[in-house]
Structure 1
């Protein structure tokens, strides 16, 4: 997040939520947005193919078709530029590339965009005017924006929108990605990506690599590694011989699960390190039991870049051990001694190698977290980035982005767009929440949301059993007939091992930059059983 969570409750005059069912996936943040709208009069724009809780209280609701985000945002920017609502002073002083971007979006009139998105042209105009004229406007997004073959383009588009109106670099503005899981921000900060060390220091950068080589006493590769989708594909071709999975459950969370299962079967040696025997662990040759959050010391970094202490509250059961202890012992037995006394010693190493964490220590976050960047121990932390339009790269870069259709569009055989997401009552692959009896009793199974228009055409009533099929597979589940879903779109959750939605999604269409699969759009057909 460029800004802080608390700003959504008090500083934002207009909140644009796109690709996020915030009250279900980020309920604390969702509550703050609702409070600002209902108590302070903040304006709200929601773009989502489902009429979510926030959409019900929005000033403008844009039920755009999954995969049409770039067209929608380009349409809004077309209105802002053509009606003289752009912040030309901010653009001139703090950005570059505006002319090329403006020339491209000139063709994205609301009338041109309407049939692509399924959103009426006048609603696109209303949203654009509201966002541009409200004062402090902020954009919140989540995986509904990123999990597309054009996910990187989608994110650059909302950045374009923020810069176009000067809504960056002050409280109540900015672009706020709402992270999908706890400590995702921290894992990325710590180099849990195949192309960077900590704090996004590139593996291909000689100076950065040499710094880590000296610290660790090893020679490090200068080429980027593979992302998970690439690993699975290479494993399927027999090119990956061993896989070590820590806290991940690709047999539920990855697309095209039949393909994933076949890949895992072909790998010579699979290790899974987790707190429960997951669907993926059933493919493992060795399972290493680790501890949960309440059984260890350390830090988490949350979605607003806040580094916070985690303290051991209870002892771990059985043979479960702390993740870093397991990893250190495995490394030591493989010939590279790794010896730390405690988690704080590891954090001290982190801050010496990570400029944005350099000023953070266990002592400083004993009674509350600090938001990076925090370059020294006198620095208070950074509640919002790009202050007064001062971008880390110098000038903010506009990008001219054309709309690219999803990899699978509806056709005669598969006439609907399947999109997936989460329920308030379950979390990600269900590894923890499906073991919570109260939650599982409240929401025991997946349902397929379908618009009454499609349901009537197919002779489907509420609670009827249906088959939903894509080019990858078929699942059976109950239908939930509801006008909260846009016509032409169907929706289900992916938490349930009995009906694993990712059996239906595709691994074929990846974002060329981030390599994220297109989870949010699959051509599908529904049949009553």
Structure 2
């Protein structure tokens, strides 16, 4: 139990994947303050507004301190967590016995990130009941990253380090806010200032002059949805002008002639006309990236670019551009991300060849979708719930996610969740999804559980340009007890409790779903547990780190975190290695033909829907979390419809006016706000806001749900099922009330 008085100890903020090192002050058993830790060697005192708001998040009056059960009249009443687990296990057993294991699905959201054992144990549970219906937020965000890597292959020497790069290109991402990709998330502002200060040239492609774009040497501000054409045009110019790394191509790359042929029609003049950008700017950006300095740097795309159609192709072309310029670490150079709490490996200057990325495993009953290297197609799960017949999903467990706020087509999602026989959420408050649940299990929160940075290392296997760029690690113990009188359960223990009641034995392979084991010399750790296992989270972490490069105990001996002395350099290519990266994948390049065939002039002249809606990151929120906290929302708990001032004036509107935003699929209310960083033909909104569909009159108190504008069964990716969630055609009209 926490002792009276004041203590300040180092901890880890886990709101996002950066895992900032912080100092947490506890006063009389209550988390009172969180600041950056100046003694942390990686973050050096940095933290963001979200991390500093952790006391408000922990002590939120709306926080659930007891699990909840829905009553016959629709209200909720507290229920003992163990009793709730008893009842849930019984209902799951009945559904499985009656309809089969496929009737039970599980969804993992991004708020599982703070608790690394939770997604692993949840996955172990769903496999133990032999259901293939395991879904994550990955396939409604950027599934193209993993799909493209499967088609292209991995470079086993790893990424070029940002702190040594001469140039860098970012497409539809704003890492100064998202801390997600490209610029290292460990104090991205400082990292970018240092890079520009030593002469690095940044190229940003974004319809908005974002915080990151404002620091770029070249900012290309195109019409939304033209990122594929722009990157294809740059590849074409670099090939035509002979700016490729021919030695690297000859030794390590296949498919070059196919790529050159596929991009041949994407001339600078055509791309400039299509994207509505100066042709000279395109040419300058391509030449700068290909030739500046010692030709070191990479290309990364983000959520904004992936939300438009052709996300797989865009990510693939980014890899191709990186590869034809030879922008990977070479033999004798330092390893950028050498692992610390993950197993050691030998980086090599060679390719891991392409591998099967889609078309295998479980086949959904809708749209011909299958499992993929990015996971099951989450955008199709609502259909799997609503579609009658054999195989229908009748129970859903949500962990760390809020489908009613995050999934596309909110009205369909609402119908689907209400039609379930059983909906269980593990949630810290009565979110939109939990307001529809049969049971809400109240979990512990960040500082009430131990923490480690293994997950922040792991994400490098999802995409280039991510993960911790050093042999850094940190472990933090529990820093505060749960509130007195509460009945809270760690998420992974909920699944262990289900396993005990359902007589299941579970096991998980650490690094599941990330491809981590594919590239490691020591095998991933297999953790086995049955219902009678009495494990603590601390003991489970020890098992998860059993093969780590640096023992967990050694990491824990440095409470402020440590950059360990790991002398890792890229080894020479194996003498018998003939593997190559593939820049000529037939499926990807066939899609490029479809892009060329698009009638962009007609779409541009659409008078019914003259604007294009793009997503926008919010500096104070992680998806739907924290929007109701005054410290974070600053008195603005809604997501404005940002528009250029001239576009607002042309509609006879003013900032602060209520408007209706209408797509070909649906409409939402919003509050218009001027933003001169946008193109005049663009509107930008933050996702994951809003209430239930019946609560549109509360738009100033809740915001609105952009996902409602998006259909899931029209204009979707044939591999991942990801619908068009950006570059959405819309119109904006005045709204009264």
Match of 2:288 among 126, 130, 149: 130
Change (3 A) 1:130 1:293: same
Match of 1:415 among 590, 595, 610: 610
TM-score by length of 2: 0.58
The residue number in structure 2 matching 1:521 is 727
Higher relative contact order (CA 8 A, sep 6+): 2
SS at match of 2:328: coil
2:285 matches 1:90 = no
The residue number in structure 2 matching 1:493 is 686
Match of 1:19 among 165, 168, 172: 172
Deviation for aligned residue 1:283: 1.0
Matches of 2:709 and 2:328, distance apart in 1: 39
Match of 1:426 among 616, 621, 644: 621
Matches of 2:495 and 2:359, distance apart in 1: 21
SS at match of 1:80: helix
The residue number in structure 1 matching 2:499 is 331
Deviation for aligned residue 1:54: 2.0
- Give me the CA root mean square deviation: 3.5
The residue number in structure 1 matching 2:222 is 64
- Aligned pair count reads 472
Match of 1:397 among 572, 579, 582: 582
Deviation for aligned residue 1:295: 1.3
Match of 1:270 among 423, 441, 455: 423
The residue number in structure 2 matching 1:482 is 675
Deviation for aligned residue 1:18: 1.0
Matches of 2:285 and 2:314, distance apart in 1: 17
The residue number in structure 2 matching 1:219 is none
2:291 matches 1:291 = no
Deviations, residues 17-65 of structure 1 (Å, cap 9, x unaligned): 1111122222755314431344222111010110112222211111122
Match of 2:656 among 444, 451, 463: 463
Contact 1:68/1:403 (CA < 8 Å) preserved in 2? no
The residue number in structure 2 matching 1:346 is 540
Matches of 2:573 and 2:660, distance apart in 1: 52
2:387 matches 1:234 = no
TM-score by length of 1: 0.80
Alignment of 1:439-450 (within 5 A): 439-450=632-643
Deviation for aligned residue 1:382: 6.9
Contact 2:301/2:318 (CA < 8 Å) preserved in 1? no
The residue number in structure 1 matching 2:69 is none
Contact 1:17/1:141 (CA < 8 Å) preserved in 2? yes
Deviation for aligned residue 1:522: 1.4
Change (3 A) 1:321 1:381: farther
The residue number in structure 2 matching 1:281 is 434
Contact 2:165/2:296 (CA < 8 Å) preserved in 1? yes
Matches of 2:359 and 2:612, distance apart in 1: 38
Deviation for aligned residue 1:267: 1.0
SS at match of 1:119: coil
The residue number in structure 2 matching 1:147 is 307
The residue number in structure 1 matching 2:552 is 362
Runs of 5+ unmatched residues, structure 1: 177-185, 187-199, 206-221, 372-378
Deviation for aligned residue 1:348: 5.3
Deviation for aligned residue 1:434: 2.1
Change (3 A) 1:380 1:399: farther
Deviation for aligned residue 1:11: 1.0
Matches of 2:261 and 2:411, distance apart in 1: 44
Matches of 2:305 and 2:572, distance apart in 1: 27
Contact 1:47/1:62 (CA < 8 Å) preserved in 2? yes
Match of 2:236 among 64, 74, 78: 78
Matches of 1:335 and 1:203, distance apart in 2: 33
User: Greater CA deviation, 161-170 or 295-304?
Assistant: 295-304
**TM superposition outliers: structure 1 runs of 4+ over 6 Å:** 1-6, 200-205, 222-225, 386-390
Runs of 5+ unmatched residues, structure 2: 1-144, 146-154, 180-184, 337-341, 343-355, 362-369, 460-465, 505-529, 691-701
Contact 2:358/2:719 (CA < 8 Å) preserved in 1? no
Contact 1:150/1:404 (CA < 8 Å) preserved in 2? no
Deviation for aligned residue 1:370: 8.8
